[in-house]
Copies of this chain bind each other. A is one copy, B any other.
Amino acid sequence: MDGRQGGGREPRTPMRADARRSVDALVEGARAVFARDGVDAHVKAIALQAGVGVATLYRHFPRRSDLILAVLESDVDACVEAAHELAAAHPPMDALDLWLDRYCAFVLTKHGLAAALHSDAETFAGLGEQLLERLEPALDALLQATRAAGMTTDAASAMDLLRAVAHLCTPGPAHAAYTRRMIGLLLAGLRYGPLPRPRRTSP
């Protein structure tokens, strides 16, 4: 990755004003086009929507995944903030549950992009990790609170849960109810701890 504008906060070389304008337009355009056409939207459509040429797109986002990542980052930040607010406004277990709901809604909305996060191709390798790592401290704080209250076991880490929910959410918005039910089950498992595994008797 270039690291100049996608993930990094502090560009070493101050970016030229027109370049910053292009990047912003591109991210906004990509958000709109991804929402309309899905994650496999044509590169040209994004450039058109942003009002720039394709070369400009490629200059700033050499790989498609860079663009996806950029689009997702602002949503992630909103999720992090929601965690703090919920923690302040609710008892630990409720805050945890409600935040998972919030996170789930985020992944559901962006499910097309989220699917790309764990595509098998190298194109997307490690793309999602960066997002999850940003989310991790927020969820970890919620979890620490429920653990301190004796409401959950440590059978799964914050990262574990983040991944699990992200995966559970991939089927798409039509299955929102299903997803929420599965997350509820997962949470109950976390509450009571895993079952003892059976001993294998035959191979």
Where the two chains meet, the residues of A that have a C-beta atom closer than 8 Å to any C-beta of B are: 38-40, 89-91, 93-94, 97-98, 111-112, 115, 118-121, 155-156, 160, 163-164, 167-168, 170-172, 175, 178, 181-182, 184-195, 197-198, 200-202
Interface of A (DSSP majority class): helix
The reply to whether A195 and B200 contact each other, CB–CB distance below 8 Å, is no
Known: A164-B168, A184-B195. 15 other contacts (CB 8 A): A40-B120, A89-B201, A111-B120, A115-B118, A115-B119, A118-B172, A120-B172, A163-B178, A168-B168, A186-B189, A187-B195, A188-B189, A188-B192, A188-B193, A191-B195
A200-B167 in contact (CB<8A):
no
Q: Is the CB of B189 within 8 A of A184?
A: yes
Q: Which 6 A-B pairs have the closest CB atoms?
A: A185-B189, A94-B198, A188-B189, A184-B194, A189-B189, A112-B120
Q: List 8 A-B contacts (CB under 8 A).
A: A90-B198, A93-B198, A111-B120, A115-B118, A155-B185, A156-B182, A167-B170, A191-B195
- Give min CB distance, A120 to chain B, whole Å: 4
B202 x A89 contact (CB < 8 A): yes
